[in-house]
Amino acid sequence: MTAREPVRALRQAARPRIGLTLDAGDDGGPYLLGRAYVAAVAAAGGLPLLLPHEPALAGDYLAGLDGLVVTGGAFDVPPELYGEARRQGCGPTRPERTAAELALLQGALEGGLPVLGVCGGMQLLAVARGGTLFQDLVCDAGLSGHEQPPPKDVPSHPVQVQAGTWLAALVGAGPLPVNSTHHQGLRTAGDGVKVVATAPDGLIEAIELDGEVFALGVQWHPEAALRHEPRHAAIYRGLVDAARRK
């Protein structure tokens, strides 16, 4: 056995490296991330790695990853990214974070890296493919009931998962109870994007990108809801399994 063989064996047995985007204000404050994201990736067999807001280094970060999770947060995708002016009801934005996430997301998609977009991460995934958003569901679409009060992890409405999709292969086709913590939502899904789950009011709740590489976005927070509905854990397992096959 050579000196390099133990290192090679360790690499072969290593968990897939899954990058997680972080939250932070644009004021130089600390990076933040809910522990549930890390726990969900680790429980699915992945190695969670945290990604700071450095758009210029996106390619370097992606070179060391096997998969990417674009996380959610209490902020909005800037409407300028989908060709609209800000309207009443649009909330605060995080330009620094969004620039970093968009660079990571576009690089991952171009490089064939498996991707999961969660809540705002799903919205950014759609916008990256030319999709548009309701800046506020109540103001723009007359839709309420998508921003539930605490506790935020308890499922508050069902979605209908379409058969024959990656999502259905993971959680099953038909009704799935989800939590709902967003005031924006998808108006149009974008180029090469399939709608794979909807709420009872018709709002888009999950999307997948055409192609052979795993690229899924969900409007809810499966890492939180899995405490009450174990099927949600399969969404993170799907990402990690795809990263392992990469």
**Active-site residue among 101, 205, 208, 223?**
223
- In the numeric block, which tokens belong to residue 1? 């056995």
Partners of 19 in beta bridges: 49, 68
90 is catalytic: no
**Active-site residue among 146, 157, 182, 221?**
221
Pairs from 103-111 (Cβ < 8 Å, separation ≥ 24): 103/55, 103/56, 103/58, 104/19, 104/21, 104/51, 104/58, 104/61, 104/62, 104/68, 104/70, 105/68, 105/70, 107/58, 107/59, 107/62, 108/62, 108/65, 108/68, 109/209, 109/213, 109/215, 111/62
| Residue in 233, 206, 192 with CA at minimum distance from that of residue 109 | 192
**Active-site residue among 53, 119, 157, 208?**
119
221 is catalytic: yes
Catalytic residues: 119, 221, 223
